[in-house]
Amino acid sequence: MFTSNPFAALSASLSPAVMQTYVVVMIVLVVAGTLFDVMHKGSARYFFQNWRHSKGKVSRQLGRGELMSIAIQTGVVDVLTSGEFCNPRRRLAHLLTMYGFVIYVVTTAVMVFAYPTPATPTPAILPQLWWLGGLMALLGGYWFWFFIRVDVAAEGGTPFRIMRADLFILSLLASVTLGLIWAFLQANGASVASVFFGLYILATTVLFGSVPWSKFAHMFFKPAAAFEKRVSSANGFRSNLPGPADKPATFGSARELPRHY
């Protein structure tokens, strides 16, 4: 089960071209949704306005070497290790979910496009990474949802209280959970595997199709915002962009500002 490509086995009942087209459509939805989110919410406009504003009030100009160093720091600290999270548990949960989801999505795309049928044997490492990535995403995601969220951990709220800000994490968990269940059932020849495949496709469509209304697009804007804050701090200007997560100012059961991932 852990060494077989579930998408290759699916080709017995569904043309590989269908799954390949579906993956392409999901990519298009993410790109289009992100662009819509940026234009509709004005985040890009606010970012560049803040950037221009900071340039006019700096105490010193940074050289290319300093900018390169800040870019590397941003990539390593803010992107690769999620250093903006002050709470170590939340940071670990975020990293598990982020890296697990990236591994899961990349291996899915590779298996769907490069090894679409059993006629092209899939290297065992790919499905193994697919399962590992999925389980990492579920471990981090469910840990966050039931034990780390501010309104649950700090305010004693119920983990079943759902708001629109939860759309991204819930659709991600639903997609990965149903995908792994489908793969397990299909590998064991269960007759209900097709039902879970349909649910998996539905949840995945919600995940990638709801970008304008979820926090999905924030993962693309966050590195740029983190870079701007570091540059502003280095040249003596205090940025107006949001600070690190888990500060007291972000606490509150209303959760009006997106802050999960």
What does the pLDDT look like over 55-91, one tens digit per residue?
A: 555 556 666 777 787 777 777 766 677 766 777 888 8
Category of 192 on φ-ψ map: left (φ > 0), alpha (ψ -120 to 50) or beta: alpha
- Long-range CB contact pairs, 223-228, < 8 A, 24+: 223/74, 223/75, 223/78, 223/79, 224/47, 225/47, 226/74, 226/78, 226/79, 226/84, 227/70, 227/71, 227/74, 227/78, 228/47, 228/50, 228/51, 228/54
Map out the domains of the chain as residue ranges. 6-234
Cα torsion for 46, 47, 50, 51, to the nearest 10°?
-150
The yes-or-no verdict on residue 178 having pLDDT over 70 is yes
The whole-angstrom separation of Cα 231 and Cα 241 is: 12
Give the pTM: 0.76
The predicted structure's pLDDT at residue 130: 98
The predicted structure's pLDDT at residue 67: 73
Helix axes 88-114, 16-41, angle to 10 degrees: 140
The predicted structure's pLDDT at residue 97: 94
- Say which residue, 69 or 160, is predicted with more confidence: 69
